[in-house]
Structure 1
Amino acid sequence: MGNIAVGIDIAKLKFDVAVWVERKKYKTKVFPNTPAGFTQLLKWLSCYGNCHICLEATGSYSITLATFLADNGITISVENPSRIHAFGQSELSRNKTDQGDAKMIARYCALHTPALWSPEPLSERQLTALVRHLSSLEEMKRMQENRQLVADEVIQSSLTAIIAYLKQQIKETKQKIKTHIDNDHNLKKNKQLLESIPGIGEIVSSSLLAYVGDMSKFSSSKEVVAYAGLNPKLCESGLFKGRSRISKTGHSALRKALYMPALAAISCNAIVKAQWERLVSRHKGGKIGICAAMRKLLQLAYGVLKSGMPFDEKIALAS
């Protein structure tokens, strides 16, 4: 007898669970999205035997719960929301409720048997948490600096103090990231490999290590590009001939982290610069050229991490 399919629809404060016990029959329950709720879920599922749980990849909410379940020996899949959405459309689902979504995810799990998921090593999880925290701090600092430009004089001193505090937190978090990487042999080695590529500095190398992780899970550079949502997507039908755009069905934070380094690489990286000049000669600079530069940087990063060899311009030009 196979595993029982379980679907989870997760939100900020709670998550809905549906166990597909037999055709058109479910057992459902709602749990708080807290460590106590995770433990309650384990206890509740224990009476159903072996379960295969499926939930959508929705950032920190899904990963926290998925990691807890995987650490407790539960078979789990974390699926792209677009796939589950397409499955729901194929069923002509008319109503949308949290419980209904949990049931749909359970059916998807049973009928499609999605690939199993396992958490990243602890060192990579901690690095990801630090990098995301740094990004949040920098965003908060930008918001306060923008407020300060138009704020009344009466609150200027308060905003100045907040910005100074955020700058200190940013400085400390950057140091924590550096220390964390330096204390891990693999992370430190991979960081050095990434920074051998012109255009990739300390910040983006940390982001790549946090958001991409172990490159061995990808079989080709195309898979890494698709993971970032930088793969071309052609839209055309019948007589309509559309233009290619990036799919954006992927890791948005990774795309954001690559944007500024790609601009720098256009002038300092011979491989990226040559590609940019070819595109400009065909009147495809601008956004198209920048996206292509982001894609090329990611492919070069994949190459050095996969081979374990520092960047070599001659090898890159020959490939």
Structure 2
Amino acid sequence: MKNEYFMGCDVSKGYADFIILDKSKRCIEHAFQLDDTFAGHNCLYQKLERFFSDHPESRLYAGVESTGGYENNWYQAMHQYQGIFDIQVARLNPCGVHASSRADLTRTITDAVSAKTIAEYLIAYPDKITYKNEDSWASLRKQWSFVQMLTKQKAQLLNQLESLVYTANPEVLRYCQDGVPDWILTLLSRYPTADKLAKARISDIAKIPYVSKHRAKTLKAKAKTSIASSLDETTRQLISATVAQIKASKRTIQAQTKILSQQCSPPEVALLKTFNGIGDYSAIGLLLEIQSVKRFASAKKLASFFGLHPVFKISGDGKSGFRMSKQGRKAPRSILFMVAMSAIKSNALIRALYQEKVSGGMAKMAAIGLCMHKILRIIYGMLKNNMPFDPEIDRKNREKARKAENTPTTDKIRRYQTYDEDAPVSKRGKKRRLERQSSQGAINTECGIEKTVPAPS
């Protein structure tokens, strides 16, 4: 049996700190620091060569925290060493490493201490770590991040444009309540301010795509009576430049998304697109986040990964309602949010669920969150069973769940003792106990268990 050792790598911008521990958390190689250069990587190779020479028949587990890309060079370097040394490399979630450090009551934080914390995390939580030999999604994930960055920049430019137009021609903002359409961008590029639009010919305005003659007359009439306060040349130039940047961003996003869809064409993408509300962009994004559905033992595990699982805190007399946890990264939830918004319009199953919850008094945002959770469970079933979307399967599952809800159940928490009336609980606690007993009684009555026999007539 091989001896196991653990190397923690704390990555910083331009350098990294390393330490090697054994399974008993004893220091085998004291902390050392290397620069992220050719010489530094070569020095790491020499250190590993010396280590395996001193410790033959050993296996080294190395861990690096995900730090937004700074860890890639070190991760790839150690990954390449796998053909030479018996080494396994893993990326670690910084949240888990930080929680482990807090549990150890670590007070002094340095780069060397952080490297040791990473190594100790590898030892303490082996079941939480996945050592991968190859990341087939690495290049696609880079391109996906690039598209997301462009999308974020476009949103910032649109916000800036709205601020400029508010003082230069506020009357056209009534057409931008559901986003800025392309014809508005073309209109602003030609006539940035209200005074320019007021002097334009109706026939020239009507030449803009999707602008009818009636709309052109309305736009010109509103511009003549505009309350615009910024009509100077600087404002005109800023609006024109901002519109040009937005159009350029849109073209780049479309081109990059097309390239992404061509490069990422596994069968799972086509499978996800059978769900009304998921397009190329959303399917690729969801697949890059999920990677393999086999990583998740159940739909609940997948919901927890997306941060959609409900949380409910109760302790003593304190009580708070259910809410979405929103733990983890925002990117997966933002993709699923847009899918839910699209599915509410185009998918009959999700639209019916949304309308049912809203008409029942649920807040709209809460109903959208519920739809996101529902869509994710459907996606899990589609990928796990390799089956396209079928609303009939969901209908059968809901009927099965409804039958299970009507089955009388016992309270597992109180399985050894029922509620004792003499217990010195608070007034609020006693009220909660009565509510719990009445709700259980309602289930039994509905099932016909406690119904009294009618008296003979």
The Cα of 1:269 is off from its aligned counterpart by 2.4
Higher relative contact order (CA 8 A, sep 6+): 1
- Supply the distance in 2 between the matched residues of 1:283 and 1:41 (Cα, whole angstroms): 61
Task: Please name the residue that 1:45 is paired with.
Answer: 48
| 8 Å Cα contact 2:276/2:346 also seen in 1 | yes
* 1:131 has 2:144 as partner: yes
Task: State the Cα deviation string for residues 260-316 of structure 1 (Å, max 9, x = none).
Answer: 211222243233234334433553333322222112112211211221221111012
SS at match of 1:3: strand
The Cα of 1:81 is off from its aligned counterpart by 2.4
The 1:281–1:144 alpha-carbon spacing in structure 2 relative to 1, beyond 3 Å, is closer
Which residue, 220, 224, 248 being the options, matches 2:298?
220
Task: Please name the residue that 2:98 is paired with.
Answer: 85
- Supply the distance in 2 between the matched residues of 1:87 and 1:121 (Cα, whole angstroms): 26
The 1:112–1:210 alpha-carbon spacing in structure 2 relative to 1, beyond 3 Å, is closer
Query: With structure 2 as the length reference, what TM-score do the two structures score?
Result: 0.62
Task: State the Cα deviation string for residues 154-199 of structure 1 (Å, max 9, x = none).
Answer: 54454444334323321220121121134xxxx1x21111111121
- Supply the distance in 1 between the matched residues of 2:73 and 2:360 (Cα, whole angstroms): 46
The 1:107–1:262 alpha-carbon spacing in structure 2 relative to 1, beyond 3 Å, is same
Structure 1: which amino acid aligns with 2:263? Answer: H
Task: Please name the residue that 1:109 is paired with.
Answer: 122
State the aligned residue count. 313
- Supply the distance in 1 between the matched residues of 2:243 and 2:348 (Cα, whole angstroms): 42
| 8 Å Cα contact 1:57/1:78 also seen in 2 | yes
- Supply the distance in 1 between the matched residues of 2:349 and 2:70 (Cα, whole angstroms): 39
Structure 1: which amino acid aligns with 2:100? Answer: F
Task: Please name the residue that 1:205 is paired with.
Answer: 283
Rg larger in structure: 2
- State the Cα RMSD in Å: 2.7
- Supply the distance in 1 between the matched residues of 2:333 and 2:41 (Cα, whole angstroms): 32
Query: With structure 1 as the length reference, what TM-score do the two structures score?
Result: 0.86
The 1:287–1:18 alpha-carbon spacing in structure 2 relative to 1, beyond 3 Å, is farther
1:1-319 → structure 2 map (5 Å cutoff): 1-20=2-21, 23=26, 27-33=30-36, 37-49=40-52, 50-62=59-71, 65-73=74-82, 74-113=87-126, 114-118=128-132, 121-122=135-136, 124-150=137-163, 152-153=234-235, 154-182=237-265, 187=266, 189-319=267-397
| 8 Å Cα contact 1:198/1:269 also seen in 2 | yes
The Cα of 1:6 is off from its aligned counterpart by 1.2
The 1:227–1:38 alpha-carbon spacing in structure 2 relative to 1, beyond 3 Å, is farther
| 8 Å Cα contact 1:276/1:285 also seen in 2 | no
Task: State the Cα deviation string for residues 95-149 of structure 1 (Å, max 9, x = none).
Answer: 2222211111112223333533215543x32222222111111111222333344
- Supply the distance in 2 between the matched residues of 1:177 and 1:295 (Cα, whole angstroms): 26
133-142 vs 148-157, which moves further: 148-157
Structure 1: which amino acid aligns with 2:384? Answer: K
SS at match of 2:18: strand
SS at match of 1:87: helix
Query: Sequence identity, in percent?
Result: 27
| 8 Å Cα contact 2:20/2:27 also seen in 1 | no
The 1:275–1:163 alpha-carbon spacing in structure 2 relative to 1, beyond 3 Å, is closer
| 8 Å Cα contact 2:122/2:129 also seen in 1 | no
| 8 Å Cα contact 2:64/2:91 also seen in 1 | yes
The 1:270–1:131 alpha-carbon spacing in structure 2 relative to 1, beyond 3 Å, is same
| 8 Å Cα contact 1:233/1:244 also seen in 2 | yes
The Cα of 1:45 is off from its aligned counterpart by 2.9
The Cα of 1:79 is off from its aligned counterpart by 2.8
